[in-house]
Structure 1
Amino acid sequence: MQVTFTKRFKQTALFSTSALALAVASASHGYDIEVGDTDISIYGYAKLDLIYDVDSDLGDKSVGYGNIALDGDSSSTGHTGIHAAESRIGFSTATPMAGSELKTTIEGDFYGGGADSNAAEFRLRQAFGEWNGILAGQTWTNFASFIPGTPTIDFTGPGGRGILDRQAQLRYTTGGFSVAVEDPDKLGGNVNANISSDTITGYEPDGTPITTTSSSSAAKNKVPDLTARYEGASGNFSYAASGVMRYLEYDTNNNADADASWSDDTATGWGIALAGALEVTEDLTVRAGVSHGDGIGGYVDSNPYQAPAYVDSNGNLETVEATGGTVGASLKAGPGAFNLVYSVATADLDDAEVADSTNDTFESVWANYIWSPASTQNIAYGVEVGQHSRETVGGDDGDAIRVQGMVKYSF
């Protein structure tokens, strides 16, 4: 059963709007300094998010789909949150060197500390260098593309596309083509291979052992993920295609307390992502992106089942297929732009040995208006309404509405 959107969203959407380029304002450089042959840029922004969850409490920061109450479940309604955790600062340099240009970037924000906005901690977003086509460090995964990203005020933004997130990698770029080896432990996720073992912690007076049962993961990361991407443009149409190959493994041979029926197994994971954006007119742009894979894990943005594979009752490693997509439109109007965007991500768990309460589909619709007064991108205001839904393997579903506003000052 597909997740359906309630009449409440249709009513609320009448009072909502949509928009164009939130990301553009984020990239403006406030201070440029020249030291010898090196150009140094300092940039960032301070952003305040004001959030009201009409239904379930979706979390203090980005939307937490797992917090959506299922139909028939009791939950409190009406939750307000205000935070500035997305505020960001970055430094970049550019130095001519040996016929090319050496570039470095170090950037962070305060989105660490988990979902609680009161636990806003500084975290590293990007730290990389680039010279002669070779990039090394932590930055956007090569599997991702900004092309299908219709702007939202919600920090995470549309799901379903190739994940737009950062991880450590070594990348080579020539023209529109790039290939990279990337950390296999972060975005793609580890296989679900949790095993239980008993440890003797003492003895009863009669000599009976006292044991403690603990769970540990037998997932292994032996080989980095391999990604490739090509981006190009033709007239008013921009496009991108990317792929990822993964080596998945679990091994309990080094755990003497593991059940003898658990041993080891390997599997190959793969995924593809396609993206396109068309400037229909000077004021109207439409964007779309799709992603699909088997054993792809978190490379599908907002994948309901983050593990790329699981160990079945026979000890075999079974990969999980996942599919997602997003489509959106931006229309310039007045001092800003309207945005309307839909996204969906689903995991194929029909044959998986998981509980009926396991999530298998996430859906969202956002509508917003973002504008910049005084003809400057350094100041941005915005209002947004989002309808978010989840469905479980057992067919239960639920939905919730979030209203969000922002004030953003960039430098």
Structure 2
Amino acid sequence: MIKSKVCLALGVSVLGLSQAAHAFDINAGDVTANVYGYAQLNAVYDVNEDIGSTTQAGQFSGLTDANNVAEGHFDADAQQSRIGISAQHKDGAKVVVEGDFRGGTFRLRHAYGSYEKWTVGKTWSNYNSWTGWTPTLDFDSTAGSPGVQDRVEQVRYTDGGMSFSLEKDYYPNLGNGATTKSSMPTFTARYEGSASDNVNFVVAGLGRMLASDDGTTDESAVGVGAFTGVNVNMGTVTLHAAINYSDGANAYLYRSGGNFGGTDAYLHNGDLETVSAYGGTIGLSTKVGDGDLNIVYGKVKMDLDDMNNDLGNVGGNNESNSNAFVNYMWYPVDNVMMGVEVGYFKSDYYNGGDADATRVMYSAQYSF
């Protein structure tokens, strides 16, 4: 039930939404196509400094460790609005193309084809799961969520709950001026299963090759990552939790570093040294009246001691990011969801400083 709400858990518009809408179905011989999407408004009041970005999602990079900052900021946009088309041949081959308007122009989110056990193209990374994820209105959601929480070009094979993929390496981030080279695809493996009717779980891992090559220095290192997540239906309340670990794969540790993806490795004495990190989330969801109440906390932490000892210049780097959300989402009529959310963001810096901010969001979504 929670997973089905994820598709609706990101907002809604109240203007002219008193009747249900339906996706557009097109039948053309052996192919059935479906046009779907939603229109969405996100409005935010930043109590402290302005940390909103496109879709009004909160950004750790917007936090500043300063005594005097302007407070009280309102903003709104409809850039999360989305449209997509899926088409399926009678023999089972399927294609999906979907995009939204984040950033102010049309942005490609999904473009893939699937047939039987194979998926090829751009879609959610195999190193990702909605098991262990707690619904939020904030589009960029919670630090330490299970996996990378993004879409990437890939070739994936799925058999039951087990899936493997070769994926485009996801934003390798090398420090100390190292020149990044993507030399191999990332390998991922994931298993989704259930321990009982009330417990769903996921475990996943990845391996990647980090490389730095400026034409003179050519070094490489292996990065690894792993996460596990669980949803536990306890009757009136559902528990969501996830734990992540990475070493040289911090781009895959959600919302580490300055905002997304901490430093994976750095050059020192001619060698590429990896950086490790960890994180996790814990949340609860329950039905209240005609809607759902969600509360979640997440945190990621980078291990920067070795990097600081070797380079001596990481004092201003984000050592940890954490955020928490409390939201209520309700469904006044078919195809409509509205929600309110309080969010809190905090970054701790390696030099001992920190910064935090509180914000309030209203979202409204009409889907078709």
Amino acid at match of 1:242: A
Does residue 156 in structure 1 map to residue 140 in structure 2?
yes
8 Å contact from structure 1 (residues 20, 332) kept in 2 = no
Counterpart residue number, 1:409: 366
Does residue 311 in structure 1 map to residue 244 in structure 2?
no
- Mapped to 1, the partners of 2:267 and 2:69 lie a distance apart of 34
Aligned partner of 2:285 among 312, 330, 341: 330
Equivalent residues, number: 346
The secondary structure found in structure 1 opposite 2:337 is strand
Counterpart residue number, 1:385: 342
- Mapped to 2, the partners of 1:126 and 1:227 lie a distance apart of 19
Q: Deviations for 1:48-93, whole angstroms, at most 9, x for unmatched residues?
A: 00111001110233211021122x5321111111100100001111
Provide structure 1 residue ranges, at least 5 long, that are not aligned to the other structure.
Answer: 1-18, 113-119, 195-216, 255-262
- Mapped to 1, the partners of 2:5 and 2:349 lie a distance apart of 33
TM-score (norm 2): 0.90
Regions of 4+ moved over 3 Å:
19-22, 26-29
- Mapped to 2, the partners of 1:319 and 1:29 lie a distance apart of 50
The Cα shift of 1:398 comes to: 1.5
The secondary structure found in structure 1 opposite 2:96 is strand
Q: Please give the residue correspondences for 1:5-404 in structure 2 after superposition, counting only pairs within 5 Å.
A: 22-25=5-8, 30-60=23-53, 61-70=56-65, 72-97=66-91, 101-112=92-103, 120-161=104-145, 162-184=147-169, 186-187=170-171, 189-192=172-175, 194=177, 218-233=179-194, 234-253=196-215, 263-281=217-235, 283-304=236-257, 306-312=262-268, 314-352=269-307, 353=311, 354-374=313-333, 376=334, 378-404=335-361
8 Å contact from structure 1 (residues 330, 339) kept in 2 = yes
- Mapped to 1, the partners of 2:324 and 2:359 lie a distance apart of 10
The Cα shift of 1:319 comes to: 0.5
The Cα shift of 1:193 comes to: 5.3
Change (3 A) 1:87 1:22: farther
Provide structure 2 residue ranges, at least 5 long, that are not aligned to the other structure.
Answer: 11-20
TM-score (norm 1): 0.81
- Mapped to 2, the partners of 1:308 and 1:295 lie a distance apart of 4
The secondary structure found in structure 1 opposite 2:90 is strand
Percent identity over paired residues: 36
Larger radius of gyration: 1
Counterpart residue number, 2:16: none
- Mapped to 1, the partners of 2:360 and 2:317 lie a distance apart of 27
- Mapped to 2, the partners of 1:51 and 1:301 lie a distance apart of 23
- Mapped to 2, the partners of 1:251 and 1:344 lie a distance apart of 33
RMSD: 1.8
